[in-house]
Chain A
Amino acid sequence: MALTGNVYQVLEDIVGSENISDEPVILDTYAFQYLAETETGTKFCARPGAVVLPGSTEEVQAIVKTCNRYGVKYKALSTGWGVWNAVSGAGTIQLDLRRMNRILDIDEKNMYAVVEPYVIGAQLQVEAMKRGLNCHIVGAGANFSPLASCTSLCGHGLSGIFMGYSARNPLAVEWVLPTGDILRLGSLGSGAGWFCGDGPGLSLRGVMRGFLGAMGAMGVFTKCAVKLYPWHGPPVLPMQGVTPEYRTSVPDNFRFCAIAFPNWDSFADATYKICEAEIGYVMGRQLPPGLVPLLLARSSAEYAQIRQSGMADEIMQEFKHAFLLVLAGGSLREIEYQEKALREILAETGGWIPSLTQDPEVQKLGFSFMLKADRQALIFKLACTFHTSFGAPTAWDAAVAGAKMGEKIKKKYIEKGVVVDDLADNAWGGPYEQGRFGHLEELFMYDPSDPESAKGAVEYIAEADEAVLKGSLGQPIGALPKQAVNVYGPACFNYQDWMRKLKRAFDPNIASDPISYIE
């Protein structure tokens, strides 16, 4: 359904004819979303009524007010992919924020950057590193939007151990509310700068998001101060190779290795010890055993050959309970201390460093992808998609319990032949904030073009949810909002009833598309 009346014309007047389109071929690129088949049974979500590309906060505000005036829904996205970016129906405007792509400020002393929605992680990281700083990059990869991650979405990043969790990384935020009014969170609202996102008094950051974001249902975030973190490496990382095979040398005050353990219990113990010793800079279960052969394979056929030949069995076994780890020292003294602490921890827990990651080329490759998160597409190689389960942000022991449970359930679906055989162990994640919480989500791969496989994926998720509920394993990060509300709401003090009240108070016309939230 095209937009009714003169809405299109009004929007065109706001952004200019070159920044608006209702061409079906353009609109379908927004409807084509990762995981669409889990929601619609096809590769496409709903086609928006038009796509609009605002270039400033003022234009966003004008668009939002227009939508409220004409009873049209809108939904913003920046770099995002995935069903949570899609609109609910054909009458909805998609706001594509790609023109708002400036780093407005980097406050070197106070360690934050003020960014617009389409600044990407790789762009910010390069600028930050020049100033001895770094930014948290989430699992979506280096092309993610730090603003969207801080304000609206969720996800693990391998640097979480040193750089926190995205929902805890915003400072002040400029926020076009669902009605079009502008709210400036924290110190910004008082005209004091960008250094704090909370107050005066209660913190409206609580309305903005939880550990899952509101996913476009609570207006549009146009500027955000994002925390930056110390970087003890060179101002420019000398990169070699071409995508995705980037490599960079490990500086003297850094170390990269895998660390492996005999079982889940020692894996969990070692994580607690590493975090208590405050020695990790980047740490994550980036290469679960089933994915190790993907480092060698260029296609799913090659992957299958490697698996069948048995040539990777030993390495896969070695990576069964393993982490990839980067240590960083502000001085050579510090890195020596960290190495010594790590050696002690490995000795206490029966851990070891697999020889594979000691290879000089693997060192360069691994160091690059741990720091820059530039190999995240690896998982798409096998089945062109994947989905997730479990993964509550919680205490590490509970995260490991979730991984064990996920493995047990997934085995059944592998045996049925509906999900990819990844040894049933694809628990991905790591600790946050020096181990104060963490998560391991059980990834699984399936064939979206095979109805049986897609159906199997849905059944697996339902069984995983049941196990989480029964085992009190937390609130899963992979739970899409409807699933969260319907499955987990009644088990979580019916939080959705309060969320609905907030939505209606802040968005009385339900103009900000509630498809990934609540109406």
Chain B
Amino acid sequence: MSEKEELIAIVGAEYVFDDPENLESYSRDMSFVRAMKPQYVVKPQNAEDVQGIVKWANNSGMPLIPVSSGPPRFRGDTIPTLGGAVVDLSQMKRIIRINRRNRVAMVEPGLTFGELQPELEKEGLRLPMPLAPRSSKSVIGSLLEREPTIIPKYQWDISDPLLCTEVVFGTGDLFRTGEAAGPGTIEDQWASGQAQTNPMGPFQVDFFRLIQGAQGTMGIVTWASVRCELLPQAHKLLLVPSDRLEGLIDFAYRLLRARLGDELLLLNSFNLAALLGEDADQIRSLREGLPPWILIIGIAGYERLPQERIEYQEKDIMDIAQQFGVEPVSAVPGTSAREVSKALSKPSGEPYWKLRFKGGCHDIFFLTTLDRTPEFIGAMYQMAEATGYPSTDIGIYLQPQMQGRACHCEFNLACDPNNPKEVDRVRTLFTSSSENLIKLGAFYSRPYGPWADMAYRRDAESAIASRKVKGIFDPNNVMNPGKLCF
């Protein structure tokens, strides 16, 4: 049998593609990572299909590139660096279970935020989301990438809200991580009161941590349980404008310490405008009117005394604001808390908010601590100036993580993909600033594209150790080769 026939034998002819148009669509994304066409695109329907595909890859030596989100993609991690077969999981989109009592959902990798949230709402739940994810973004894809969510209070560990997973390792072995491993089937576990809420283990190894952040290099996740939160019965958003970021940072630290507020994030005027505006003109006009920095705080009341919860939190926040000389308000010139709340509560409309200004966008993001962000921002402005990129066009998003212990610092460089001169300029800025930022102490915890080399060059021991792990779970290097340090 030919390779294609073997694939068809596993998943069926209607789920194997090798037509030029399909292959082309998976060959590139919006990043600067070099394009490369896959040989096949295959769309498994279930875990058995996935297992068959991984075993086939081990026999044929064909690299596999797992993809769960739809386009547009941005990070280069789903481009087949060495060719191979793209395993598109978008058709595996079952919600296996929503359990209100334990605030947990179990879903397949093709399910998007837009598809999950309405179903959760019916049960009185919500899933903390990244900042207005694109409508095609897979929930599991986002969680496996350790994308930050906008409610730092509910992120106890950097791995949250990912819990247990079912995974087909690069060897072709099926495995379940955390308490889902057993004893008993998943149904037996439900019957005993378990709900796959403990991601750790089984026992002495946290297997899920070896899959998360691995960019599909260890295996393919076929379902995961995710930690949900209660759906607010009442919600109030406050905007705290400031000309100076530093003033907002100290205030944000104080709120994080007091666990006041749910949503808590900082945006510069450009990014808030990009989130709210429908096109470039609107974004420009909004940006002009908005204050340079806005701290966004959401206060939620849940099933228990919702209004009273909001009331005491708001009063406490106002007291603290007074001490810090800032003023939480329900509207700033150009927008209102209501509008911002709408934008944060669901996935982005079309086009994706980062693309509305120029049609393209290149993100630089890393982890640091909130108090260090002004230093990185200053450096970024200097580098933009040096390359002739207007600093007013840089979107900035600061997201405290792990209840405030770390901070996701993100710069969004809007770019017209049809303007080669501009693309070159942004490429230069992207590359040089990525290098400079790591020298300043940026931690590329999610090292996509060129950041992988930068990160592992500074941390050779992690590269060596990661390769040992890779040698166990994917000894034939069939899973997304060429990514990270593999």
A interface list, Cβ under 8 A from B? 107, 109-112, 132, 164-165, 167-168, 171, 177, 181-187, 189-193, 195-215, 227, 230, 272-273, 276-278, 330-331, 333-334, 336-337, 340-341, 344-345, 392-401, 433, 436-437, 468-469, 471-475, 479, 481, 484-485, 488, 491-493, 495, 498-499, 501-502, 505-506, 517
The complex places the Cα of A132 from the Cα of B469 at a distance, in Å, of 40
Contact B445 A212, beta carbon cutoff 8 Å: no
CA distance A508 to B56 in the complex (A): 31
Chain A residue with the shortest CB-CB distance to B99: A395
User: Are B257 and A230 in contact, with the CB atoms below 8 A?
Assistant: yes
In this complex, what residue of B is CB-closest to A497? B173
A181 to B464, CA, bound (A): 11
Counted as pairs of residues, one from A and one from B, with CB atoms less than 8 Å apart, the total is 339
Residue among B191, B213, B259, B302 making CB contact with A198, cutoff 8 Å: B213
Complex CA gap A96/B438 in Å reads 37
Q: Are A195 and B452 in contact (CB under 8 A)?
A: no
Contact across chains for A202 and B103 when beta carbons are under 8 A apart: no
Chain A residues with Cβ below 8 Å from B176 are: 493
How far is A213 from B201 in the complex, measured between Cα atoms in Å? 10
CA distance A212 to B203 in the complex (A): 5
Report A167 CB to chain B, min CB distance, Å. Answer: 6
Is A393 a contact partner of B179 (Cβ separation < 8 A)?
yes
Q: Is the CB of B192 within 8 A of A398?
A: yes
Contact code string B442-477 (vs A, CB < 8 Å = 1, else 0): 111111000110011011011011101101110000
Chain B interface, number of residues (Cβ within 8 angstroms) = 97
**Which of A199, A208, A272, A492 makes the CB contact (< 8 A) with B101?**
A272
Centre residue among A177, A200, A201, A208 by max chain B CB count within 10 A: A201
Q: Which residue of B lies closest to A182 (CB)?
A: B461
Q: How far is the CB of A190 from chain B (nearest CB, A)?
A: 5
Contacting residue for A193 out of B157, B217, B441, CB 8 A: B441
Give which listed residue, A189, A191, A215, contacts B461 with CB less than 8 A.
Answer: A189
Verify B405–A213 contact, CB threshold 8 A.
no
Interfacial chain B residues near A205, Cβ < 8 Å: 206, 209
B398 is an interface residue with CB less than 8 A from chain A: no
B379 at the interface (CB under 8 A from A): no
Question: Once the chains bind, are A492 and B181 in contact (CB under 8 Å)?
Answer: yes
- Neighbour of A110 across the interface among B188, B210, B369, B455, CB < 8 A: B369
Residue pair A110, B308 in contact (C-beta under 8 Å): no
In angstroms, Cα B305 to Cα A210, docked, is: 37
Determine how close the nearest CB of chain B comes to the CB of A404; give it in whole angstroms: 10
A-B contacts, 28 listed (Cβ < 8 Å): A110-B405, A111-B403, A164-B157, A165-B200, A191-B458, A193-B441, A196-B445, A198-B159, A199-B213, A199-B367, A200-B445, A201-B485, A202-B210, A211-B203, A211-B206, A333-B315, A397-B102, A398-B192, A401-B193, A436-B102, A436-B227, A472-B183, A472-B184, A473-B183, A473-B192, A495-B181, A505-B468, A517-B204
Residue B43 is within 8 A (CB to CB) of chain A in the complex: no
Q: Please give the distance in Å from B451's CB to the nearest CB on chain A.
A: 8
Is B211 on the interface with A (CB-CB < 8 A)? yes
Chain B hits for A436, CB < 8 A? 102-103, 156, 197, 227
Task: Out of A109, A215, A344, name the residue touching B369 (CB < 8 Å).
Answer: A109
Q: Of A203, A212, A273, A469, which contacts B204 at CB under 8 A?
A: A212
Q: Which residue of A lies closest to B211 (CB)?
A: A202
Instruction: Closest B residue to A273 by CB, please name it.
Output: B304
From A337, A433, A505, give the contact of B312 (CB < 8 A): A337
Chain B residues in 8 Å Cβ range of A495: 175, 181, 201-203, 205, 207
Docked CA distance A168–B128 (Å): 19
Cβ of B422 under 8 Å from chain A: no
Instruction: Give A14 to B243 CA distance when docked, in angstroms.
Output: 57
A399→B312 CA distance, assembly (Å) = 33
The reply to whether B202 and A202 contact each other, CB–CB distance below 8 Å, is no
Q: Are A207 and B405 in contact (CB under 8 A)?
A: no
CA distance A132 to B254 in the complex (A): 11
Which listed residue (B156, B201, B302, B309) contacts A211, Cβ 8 A? B201
Is B206 within 8 A of A195, CB to CB?
A: no
Distance of B159 from chain A, by nearest CB (Å): 7
In the complex formed, the residue of A with least CB distance to B230 is: A276
**Smallest CB gap from A481: residue in B:** B204
Residues 168-204 of chain B: 1 if any A CB is under 8 Å from the residue's CB, otherwise 0?
0000001110010111110011011111011011111
B304 near A276: Cβ-Cβ < 8 Å: yes
Given the complex, which residues of A lie within 8 Å of B24, measured CB to CB?
none
Within 8 A of A (CB), among B250-285: 253, 257-260
| Of B217, B253, B367, B441, most A-chain CB atoms within 10 Å | B367
B383 at the A interface (CB under 8 A): no
- A436–B253 alpha-carbon span in the complex (Å): 25
Among B101, B201, B304, B312, point to the contact of A334 (Cβ < 8 A). Answer: B312
- Minimum CB distance partner of B209 in chain A: A206
- For the complex formed, measure the closest distance between the CB of B469 and the CB atoms of chain A, giving whole angstroms: 7
* Bound: A493/B484 CA distance, A: 28
Task: Find out whether the CB atom of B192 lies under 8 angstroms from the CB atom of A492.
Answer: no
Cα distance A399–B102 when bound, in Å? 12
Tell whether, in the assembled complex, residue B192 and residue A111 are in contact, meaning their CB atoms are under 8 Å apart.
Answer: no
| A167 surroundings in chain B (CB, below 8 A) | 200, 206
